[in-house]
Structure 1
Amino acid sequence: MSASRWSGALRIAAAASVAVLILAIGAVAGAAWQQSRHSDSDAPSTVDVGFAQDMSTHHDQAILMSRTVSGLPGVGAEIRVLADRMVLTQSTETATLRGWLQWWGEPLTSDTPMSWMGHTDHGSHGHAASQEHSGPATDQPPMPGLASVDELGRLSTLTGRAAEIYFLQLMIRHHRGGQEMARDAFNDDRASTATQQWALTMIGDQGNEIGQMTLMLKARNAEPLPT
Structure 2
Amino acid sequence: MTQTRRLPLVFIGVVGAIALLLLGAAGGMLLVSPAQDSAQQQAGPNQVDIGFSQDMSLHHQQAVTMATLAREHGSTVDVRQLAFDIETNQRDQIGRMQGWLSMWNQPAHASGPLMQWMKSGDDHGQHATMPMTDGPLMPGMATSEEMSRLQSLRGEEFDVFFLQLMLRHHQGGVPMAKAGAARAASPAVRALAENMLGSQGNEMKLMTTMLDKRGAKPLPMN
Q: In the alignment, is residue 178 of structure 1 matched against residue 173 of structure 2?
A: yes
Within the alignment, does 1:218 sit opposite 2:212 as a pair?
Answer: yes
- Structure 1 residue aligned with 2:16: none
1:123–1:194 distance in 2 versus 1, CA, 3 Å: same
TM-score, normalised on structure 1?
0.75
Larger Rg: 2
1:38-187 to 2 correspondences below 5 Å: 38=39, 41-72=42-73, 75-111=75-111, 112-119=113-120, 122-124=129-131, 126=132, 128-129=133-134, 142-187=137-182
Unpaired runs of at least 5, structure 2: 1-20, 121-126
Task: Give the percent of matched residue pairs that are identical in Structure 1 and Structure 2.
Answer: 37
Partners of 1:165 and 1:222 within 8 A in 2: yes
Post-superposition offset of 1:75: 1.5
1:72-123 Cα offsets, whole Å, 9 max, x none, are: 2x61121111101111111011101111111111111112210111436644
Greater Cα shift, 58-67 or 192-201 = 192-201
The offset of 1:174, in angstroms, is 0.5
Aligned length: 187
Contact 2:181 2:190 in 1 (8 A): yes
Measured in 2, the distance between the counterparts of 1:33 and 1:168 equals 36
Instruction: Pick one of 185, 195, 204 that aligns with 1:191.
Output: 185
Paired with 1:93 and 1:59, the residues of 2 have a C-alpha distance of 8
**SS, match of residue 116 in structure 1:** helix
Q: Secondary structure at the match of 1:191?
A: coil
What's the offset of the Cα at 1:65?
Answer: 0.3
Does the Cα contact within 8 Å between 2:70 and 2:162 map onto a contact in 1? yes
Q: Which amino acid aligns with 1:35?
A: A
User: Aligned with 1:214: secondary structure?
Assistant: helix
Match of 1:205?
199
- Determine the C-alpha separation between the residues in 1 that align with 2:220 and 2:160: 14
Q: What is the DSSP-based 3-state SS (H/G/I as helix, E as strand, rest coil) of the residue aligned with 1:41?
A: helix
Check 1:62–1:147 CA distance in 2 against 1; reply closer, same or farther (3 A cut).
same
Return the offset for 1:39. 6.4
Matched-pair contact (CA < 8 Å) for 1:66–1:86: yes
Question: What are the ranges of 5 or more consecutive residues in structure 1 without an aligned counterpart?
Answer: 1-20, 133-140
Q: Which of 208-217 and 74-83 deviates more?
A: 74-83
Change (3 A) 1:60 1:33: farther
State the one-letter code of the partner of 1:179: V
Q: CA deviation at 1:185?
A: 1.6
Q: Secondary structure at the match of 1:221?
A: coil
Q: What one-letter code is carried by the residue in structure 1 that aligns with 2:153?
A: L
Query: Taking structure 2 as the reference length, what is the TM-score of the superposition?
Result: 0.76
